[in-house]
Chains A and B, each alone.
Chain A
């Protein structure tokens, strides 16, 4: 689960990790009202207006409705014009940004609607660094990654100057040790206060990552100020779904407006569903088989409309809900049910499909491939239901049939 930048900064601030002073705004008035306290409290006449969406690349992104405005705007009007001038500029920006659609390299061409702004104090930046904490599957441990190339995407740094990426493994029995943090800070080329503050920052962030069950925290850029302070200028956090049950404060940060409605509905029914752009809806048991079903549809010349794993212990009702999710997509021109029953019994699947078609009807072709536990019973239920379903002998046969029927 992803959260917004301002939420990540709240979680960091609560753990004593330095972040700039900022105020959340969901209306133009709130945005304007944030300017005075920020400038008065910090003494810095610059403020920054940042769009809050669950996607990176905001600075270089552009609003569909206002192509001259990006997702992150530095307001310098206060330097010469005072607070009133800064407020005027923030009002204008907030007016144009709120409710508009921001398109970045990570949002896809449709972009994302901006409902929230984060108004932040300006910072006198001396140096920009990169810092992240994430799982390294190869060693089954979290690692800290750091680079002196802040502000640049880490994939680019990794490809062009891999020697500039520093890493330290976090031993789960000991946490990130002080000397490891010091080694990183030194490796980043920092000295004096900046080095000490960076080491402290890195250790605090590693601890936070473990405490919060974050599967990724990325601070890009991590900035060093002219007076040697180190703070998170940006912050991305995502959390592992399996551990959310023990973090109600993180769970409360979930923003449903950032999620695909069909995917959110699927979660309610404990189904694993991902919407794609194709025309053939798939219903499968097991994640691997569900992925392979998408692949095989493409292999025989079609395009899958979704990934859907109904899991191992689904009831007929859950199958019916899954089926409705597929038929609700107007792009779906045909449906392929591909089941290899283990614990999941074929008769349960068949009952669910028949139930769903009874409720919502079916006006596209349906191909059903059943194999495994209670397969004969499952086929019998489909046959006797009068359902207009084509049966398949194996998954390749099924994929071919549904692609033929829809082309």
Chain B
């Protein structure tokens, strides 16, 4: 088992430009079912992907792949014609929120938005649009979602993952890789790793993912990686303390960040005394989360929490 995506997930790509094509190729090499793309002016054609299989991905495949991804005019068409269940968005920032809303209007289960730099006002509107619809959004500005050896959606390096017992949820891409790599090295592996993104307005939040991991029978523990800005970690702490039945280890980045400065991520800023690392760490500690003092200690913290 896993959460959000698995071996049966059928993925469509919105935004098959240079970045989108590059990562679609990597996803196919990993063994992800990339079944459709949406591009109004190229509708009716196919995009060819060939190369060598990534043997750290879905097992039991031939050494090479040769896949034709059909291109459709709209998300609705890609869903009905190709049976897509999840969309991954690589559309450039000015048009990305519209792509998310199109996918939601078509009624897809899940949209994973990788695009970085979407204007906040656009995301405020997109989130309002999603409010009355069934579609779940992960991201934007995130590495994506991976269930090792089953389905890789996004820009994370596949080979550092290993099927296993721990769920990972994070606001930061590279810190997710740190956690994943340690879990692989110590042999715990991952059930699913979810990047929720570094923007101030995003779709799925810590609490949503924690709830999914809590209900997933295979996940035995969770690593959550937060950072300064907002109150999502504090909300997660309250939820954990009331509901979580599994051990959680965590790390919060930005202990030394000066107030008022945006630390790379649009969402990572301490303003008006809110969103400090110290407040988040104390809330999580009080909720029983084992906090790693540095990212290098995340694997060890998970082991400690699981004992």
Contact = CB atoms under 8 A, between A and B. Distances in A.
B19 to A, nearest CB: 8
B256 A240 contact: no
Specify which of A172, A213, A272, A292 lies most central, judged by the most chain B CB atoms within 10 Å of its CB. Answer: A292
Nearest to A303: B256
Interface residues of B, number: 62
Contact of B118 (A242, A288, A299, A373): A242
A297 to B, nearest CB: 8
| Chain A interface residue number, banded | 35 or more
B180 to A, nearest CB: 10
A372 interface: yes
A288 B294 contact: no
A309 B157 contact: no
Contacts of A343: 155, 157
Nearest to A245: B94
A93 to B, nearest CB: 29
B284 to A, nearest CB: 15
Interface stretch (B63-71, B120-128, B238-246): B120-128
A155 B253 contact: no
Interface in A107-152: 135, 137-138, 140-142
Given A135-B120, A240-B119, A274-B261, A286 B174 contact: yes
Interface in A332-383: 340-343, 371-373
A292 B294 contact: yes
Contacts of B235: 138
Interface in A159-177: 171-173
Nearest to B228: A291
A294 B178 contact: no
Contacts of B59: none
B231 A138 contact: yes
A287 B119 contact: no
A323 interface: no
A304 interface: yes
A243 interface: yes
A346 B272 CA distance: 38
Given A135-B201, A309-B264, A394-B296, A292 B157 contact: no
A58 to B, nearest CB: 16
B264 A272 contact: yes
A395 B255 contact: no
Contacts of B125: 172-173
B200 to A, nearest CB: 5
A299 B178 CA distance: 18
Contact of B175 (A135, A243, A289): A289
Given A141-B124, A215-B120, A291-B228, A396 B174 contact: no
B227 A288 contact: yes
Interface in A193-220: 210, 213, 215
A291 B257 contact: yes
A287 B265 contact: yes
A295 interface: yes
B172 interface: yes
Contacts of A304: 256
A123 B299 CA distance: 62
A342 B272 contact: no
A140 B213 CA distance: 24
B105 to A, nearest CB: 15
Contacts of B256: 291, 294-295, 297-298, 304
A290 interface: yes
Contacts of B178: 289, 340, 395
Interface string A171-189: 1110000000000000000
A397 B273 CA distance: 32
Which secondary structure dominates chain A's binding surface?
Answer: mixed
Given A135-B201, A288-B227, A294-B257, A242 B93 contact: yes
B156 A342 contact: yes
A285 interface: yes
A399 B297 CA distance: 13
A395 B295 contact: yes
A250 interface: no
B174 A289 contact: yes
B7 interface: no
A288 B93 contact: no
Contact of B295 (A140, A285, A289): A289
Given A213-B119, A243-B119, A172 B255 contact: no
A372 B227 contact: no
A307 B257 contact: yes
B254 A295 contact: yes
A312 B268 CA distance: 17
Given A215-B120, A289-B295, A137 B200 contact: yes
A372 B262 CA distance: 27
A365 to B, nearest CB: 20
A342 B173 contact: yes
Contacts of B175: 286, 288-289, 292
Nearest to A274: B261
6 contacts: A213-B121, A291-B263, A294-B257, A307-B261, A340-B178, A373-B157
Given A240-B266, A299-B255, 19 more contacts: A138-B235, A140-B127, A172-B125, A173-B125, A215-B120, A242-B266, A243-B121, A246-B119, A287-B264, A288-B174, A288-B264, A289-B174, A291-B257, A292-B294, A296-B296, A297-B256, A340-B181, A342-B173, A396-B297
Closest 8 CB pairs of A and B: A288-B172, A287-B264, A286-B174, A243-B119, A396-B296, A289-B174, A291-B253, A288-B175
Interface of B: 19, 93-94, 117-125, 127-128, 143, 155-157, 160, 170-175, 177-178, 181, 198, 200-201, 225, 227-232, 235, 251, 253-258, 261-268, 272-273, 277, 293-297
